[in-house]
Amino acid sequence: MSEFIAIISAKGGVGKTTASINVSMSLSHFGANTLLVDCDFTSANVGTSLGFPPNFKNLHGVLNKNYCVGEAMHQHSSGLKIIPGSISYDDIKNLEFENLHTLLSELTGPDYIVVDCPPGLTDEVTKIILAVDAVIIVTTPDLIAVTDTLKTLHMMKDLKKKVYGVIVNKKTDQQYEMTLENIKQFLETKILGAIPEDKHFLTSTYYKNPFVFVFPDRESSLEYKKIAADVMGKKYKGSAPLNNQELIF
């Protein structure tokens, strides 16, 4: 059975899409059949980030019943499967969200289905969360984002939703940042990984490939691989290029 994992945050711009792409890519390279679905309907960036042409069949077309979900599933050169969203404004207008739950439940087959979410704790996001098995919350290490993360954790408790843990992204170790220890104490939740701020993320977007694919040996890639192994219930050790041999069981 597929495990659905939503990547969420109350605050925008913290790195959900980046995390969705790189966690999915790492899962895929560790041998898990993985599908990434872009559910950020008004700001769908996954397709553009991975070099899919704007006219590719997408989730919006499926929700608007223009074609079936299988037609909107594409394969990245890395092997990762993706259902992109539409980048067209016209497709956002009158989008039929009600089918989302049914549509996601039709996606059987992959081991993991990672869902990139819009920011916030809106009704739309709640619908997605109710349709998945578990969530990963992304935050940056500042008080505002971490406070929003605490609120998000309370919501997950209310919804009785499994939380894999928190990814702390764009860590710079500046004095004004919260330390990982502080964040862990404040949230009373597992920190899945800490991703340094790294300008090379823009380079990987330029190359239209996941960061872990373009820069497999940088610290951020090692952290993403550690997170993916954790999700798979494995332990990750090593700094070799991305491949199955890196997992220890």
Ligand X SMILES: Nc1ncnc2c1ncn2[C@@H]1O[C@H](COP(=O)(O)OP(=O)(O)O)[C@@H](O)[C@H]1O
- # residues near ligand X by CB under 6 A: 19
The reply to whether 218 sits near ligand X by the rule CB under 6 A is: no
Helix, strand, coil % over all residues of the chain, rounded to 5: 40, 20, 40
Q: Which does 81 bind (CB under 5 to 8 A by kind): ligand X, Mg ion, none?
A: none
Range 105-134, binding ligand X (CB under 6 A): 119
* Interface of this chain with Mg ion, residues 21 to 60, rule: CB under 5 A: 40
Q: Side chain identity at 21, as an amino acid letter? A: I
Among 11, 16, 171, 225, binds Mg ion (CB under 5 A): 16
Binding status of residue 169 toward ligand X by CB under 6 A: yes
Q: Please report how close the Cβ of residue 11 comes to ligand X at its closest, in angstroms.
A: 8
Site mask, ligand X, residues 17-36, x = CB under 6 A?
Answer: xx------------------
DSSP strands (E only) in the chain: 3-8, 34-38, 74-75, 81-83, 112-116, 134-139, 162-171, 191-196, 235-236, 247-248
Q: Are 200 and 215 in contact (CB under 8 A)?
A: yes
Report the nearest approach of ligand X to the CB of residue 71 (Å).
Answer: 26
Q: What angle do CA 93, 90, 127 make, to 5 degrees?
A: 40
Indicate the pairing of strand 112-116 with strand 34-38: parallel
CB of 44 to Mg ion, least distance (A): 8
Which token pair is 96?
Answer: 């039929």
Binding site for ligand X (CB under 6 A): 9, 12-18, 45, 119, 169-170, 195, 197-198, 201-202, 205, 220
